[in-house]
Amino acid sequence: MQGGHRGHGEHGHGGAHPGHRGGGGRGGRGGDGGSRRPLGRGDLRLLLLALIEQQPRHGYELIQLIGELFGGAYAPSPGVVYPTLALLEDMGLIAAEQDSSRKRYAITDAGREQIDANREMIDAAQARTRDSARRMAKATIPPPVREAMEQLKRALLDRQGLWTEEEAARVARILMQAHGRIDADDATA
């Protein structure tokens, strides 16, 4: 790894290298200890490296791609992403090239080595991100709908040992009818 870094990184923390394991554990932005932040400590660096490994990208594109991972429910701010990119560049893991008026970031050989050495941690960061995105999406579902979903899940689990081909077909028809009604109601709204 190359020289020092600017002391900036995701969530305003410096220090840890892309292989840092951190798992979050502290409260999210709302300050309530029960909420979780969308990305665990160190995960932004790992996600940025993985995305840049796929192909060279602009900072704004990286923000959009991470936002897409969260279905639009969260996107890291430029004030977090660009210092993290600068840190990765200082560490020699990515290189910036000027593309018109913007920088495009590409993975370096050292970055590839870092990714290869930390593939499991990158995979874990991606899994944590998917889990966080699911939690955030679930939180946007109104409480009465969430409760109905839980009741449906319990009803299906209570059928264990009672499944026959006919029963499975009957329940599948009911679920497909519910799906069709929800979609039809959306179309007429």
* Residue 38: predicted pLDDT: 83
Measure the CA–CA gap between 129 and 125, rounded to whole angstroms.
Answer: 6
* Residue 33: predicted pLDDT: 35
* Residue 188: predicted pLDDT: 65
* Residue 45: predicted pLDDT: 94
Q: Which helix (H) or strand (E) holds 173?
A: helix 165-188
* Residue 18: predicted pLDDT: 38
* Residue 146: predicted pLDDT: 85
In degrees and rounded to multiples of 5, residue 107 shows phi and psi of -75, 145
Give the DSSP letter of residue 138.
Answer: H
Helix or strand or coil: residue 107? strand
- Tokens (6 digits) for 162: 């009672």
Q: Which residues of the chain have pLDDT under 50?
A: 1-35
Q: Side chain identity at 181, as an amino acid letter?
A: R
* Residue 165: predicted pLDDT: 93
* Residue 107: predicted pLDDT: 97
**Residue 17 zone, left/alpha/beta (φ > 0; ψ -120 to 50; rest):** beta
Q: Are 18 and 49 in contact (CB under 8 A)?
A: yes
* Residue 133: predicted pLDDT: 87
